[in-house]
Structure 1
Amino acid sequence: MTRLTDRLRSVRKRRALAWAALGYAALVFAGALFGADITLRSKTRWVKGVFVPVGRRGNDIYLPAGSETLSRGVVGVVPLLPNRGHAVLGGGKLTGTLVKRPVLQERGVLPNGALAWVSTFVYNGTPAQLGVAFEDTAVSTPLGEMPAWHIPPTGEVPEHSDALVIVVHGHGGQRAQALRMLPALQRTGVGSLFVTFRNAHGAPRSANGYLTLGDQEAEDICAALTWAKEHGYQRAVLYGFSMGGNVVLSVLREKHQPFPLPVLGVALDCPVLDWRATILSQGTRFGLPKFLARHVAAFTQYVVTRRSGQDFDTVDQLRAAPKFTLPMILWHGTRDRTIPVSQADALAAARPDLIEYHRVEGAKHIRCWNIDPAKYDAQLEGFVGRVLEKVDV
């Protein structure tokens, strides 16, 4: 009887272990499928923000407390129709259940009681939202016409009017996310081209609809360099945000050279430099234990490669660092939960001869500008001026 009981217990344990292993495998499989789909297809139509009622007393705005309204630094407010306007608000102070922020800039009217969009991306429209003249244009590629905004040179620095800064959004991002930096770019005297790349919202779709994490998207930015030459520009600077940073670094690969016109420098804001590490960090970000996150990340990479043929080595910019030759400016926030700041630390340490690194304390993903706009703008303007003047001399 004792032997029979022991056997039954042994069978139960084996079954329990088998079911546990099956459950674990199912969890890994489901997590990997979800992660792979986000990695390959993510795109959004709207700039991230929240819709909240606005209270106003003089030059102070009161917003309900939340993660976006409590964010450090500057935010933007756009009242919904029929109200028209836009305001840039300064740093917030919690007063009870509300966040008080001063109005720094205002176009139109931001009335008391309005329902408004509030965002750390500050703008959600076109350059017209800043009162800046621009033209809708398109960059011709083998896949089709990639929508773009062209902001002509201001003439403030005549000797820089032959230069174009090509601005590249990130994974699932929109061009409007970089409008915060447009005034600084204008002060340098250059033209700007805010471009989209394949499979982003509003852009042509590739045959399978999958992103390649910077690899093939680089071809669209090379096409933007051709656009620049055809429109009279003689030199360019590349400016990438998040995945856009990986895209512009991928442009520097040998296979894309020689360029249609000289590329003099690269600006990077919270770039994705190592996709393997990024996928792993996303697992831990969403609360997975480290051992489970490692398994999900490994299987996610496998699924991504099986679906799209993605070569993660090709978009590993830390590995490519020894081959870089252009001067760069790099910003990354210490509170970035999307792309770990350790990636920027590693790139800056690998190429201190080329990279001007600004590690921004307390900044979230591509929100370095918000912490201190004047400081960020001065760094950007200084960098663009320096790389252009090297050729001028």
Structure 2
Amino acid sequence: MIGRIALGGGIATAATAGVGYAIARRLTAPVGPRTFDLTVRGVEHDDRGELIVLDRTEQTTAPGIYNLWFENGGWAQLSTEILDRGPSRVARRVTGTTSGFTPRASDCASWSGIYYATPADAGIHARYITIMTPAGRCPAWRIDGDPATWAIHIHGLGSTRAGALRGVLAAAELGYTSLVVSYRNTAEGPRVGTGRSTLGDTEKADVDEAIGYAVRRGAQRIVLFGWSMGAVVALQIANHPRHAGLIAALVLDSPVLNWTEVIKANCTGSGLPATVAHLAIPWLTVGPLARTVGLPGRISLHSFDWTARTEELTTPTLILHGTRDDSVPIQLSQALRDSRPDIVELETFDAGHTLCWNTDPDRWQEAVTAWLRARIPH
């Protein structure tokens, strides 16, 4: 999940009786195409290279490093440098592009925190593998390292494996073997039923098969990296008795710890009262209503509420969360840290949802590697 969990402006005009249904439908909607809502206003050149001129927005003026994904298939990585181009525009310096790709004025693009498209873009050698899951064949990247210590990287709702490559850099520095996995009803995973997300409920079965893959190949300890909804999956897996003694640590970026509160935050961001979020809950948690939405059955949202299950946590957990996250409230992570300081640590960043790494990649990397070095035997 990159950016806000989009509930869509159409919900605001839905009839009151159907607003809960509309929210549930939008939240679990099958993955759609990327939206290319930025227009390149100009391309400049100086003795240091190329700059792209964009409209001035909260995104385009955000500190950090980002990527522009273009409608015509290319991408351009942008540096931290931001130059004024009048009251309504800024220029961002290009530090890398798809091989042979040249951005042009009037191109349409999409702003993203997904900085690397492939492991090779991050300077990492990976094998392309397939993991057989209950949903079918799920593609994954495998980056070889220590055969005894593995990291499994789980992306969020609406994202792709590429979004988790930011965490692979930390695991690679530590020498771990990494699996960057996909799961059902994503852009890369197999389609099941109506293609709707179950918010981490059925998806965990696919990621659990990656655990088995690692164990069969010598894994003695596993670190789970979970991004946004990927944290829902990671926490469920770590809490399963079958994996006692195997899951050594959790690294969670912008984790969803309570879906009801997350739905409230996204309702507010979409111009709706937070209270209407409660109208969506029955459509997700009551079997007949959930099937009307297009889900295979009810989602056990209460079992994902780690703000209420804090005493059940047994795995050392590092949380990285942005103070400007308006999609998954940082207060949830703060509450979990405050209730379990013995097992949970929290690093905060001046960043939006899943953009902590982008805001300060060096600090993110150092925080993760230092924390894991202190907990995982070498």
Which TM class, normalised by the smaller chain length? 0.7 to 0.9
What is the aligned counterpart of 2:302 among 313, 317, 329?
313
8 Å CA contact 2:237, 2:243 repeated in 1:
no
Alignment RMSD (CA, Å)? 2.9
Aligned to 1:304: 284
Of 260, 263, 277, 1:279 maps to 263
Partner residue, 2:362: 374
Change (3 A) 1:212 1:80: closer
Which secondary structure does the structure 2 equivalent of 1:54 belong to?
A: strand
Give unpaired runs (5+ residues) of structure 2: 1-11, 291-296
Matched letter for residue 278 of structure 2: A
Give 2:371's aligned residue: 383
Give the corresponding residue for 2:84. 94
CA distance in 2, matches of 1:161, 1:50: 43
Q: 1:48 to 1:161 in 2, by over 3 A?
A: farther
Work out whether residues 65 and 77 of structure 2, in 8 Å CA contact, stay in contact via their aligned partners in 1: no
CA contact (8 A) 1:79 1:110 kept: no
Report the TM-score, using the length of structure 2 for normalisation.
0.83
Match of 1:64 in 2: 54
Q: What are the ranges of 5 or more consecutive residues in structure 1 without an aligned counterpart?
A: 1-23, 154-159
2:222 to 223, 232, 236: 236
The correspondence of residues 119-268 of structure 1 with structure 2, limited to 5 A, is 119-123=111-115, 125-153=117-145, 160-207=146-193, 209-253=195-239, 256-259=240-243, 262-268=246-252
8 Å CA contact 1:222–1:259 kept in 2: the answer is no
AA aligned opposite 2:118: T
Contact 1:93 1:101 in 2 (8 A): yes
Letter matched to residue 125 of structure 1 = A
Higher helix share: 1
Cα offset, 1:260, TM superposition: 8.9
SS of 2:140's partner is: strand
Q: Give the TM-score normalised by the residue count of structure 1.
A: 0.80
1:186: Cα distance to partner?
A: 1.5
Q: Check 1:370–1:119 CA distance in 2 against 1; reply closer, same or farther (3 A cut).
A: same
Alpha-carbon distance between aligned partners in 1 of 2:45 and 2:95, rounded to the nearest angstrom = 14
Count, aligned residues: 353
Q: 1:80 to 1:190 in 2, by over 3 A?
A: same
Contact (CA 8 Å) 1:213, 1:243: kept in 2 or not? Answer: yes
Whichever of the two has the greater Rg, that structure is: 1
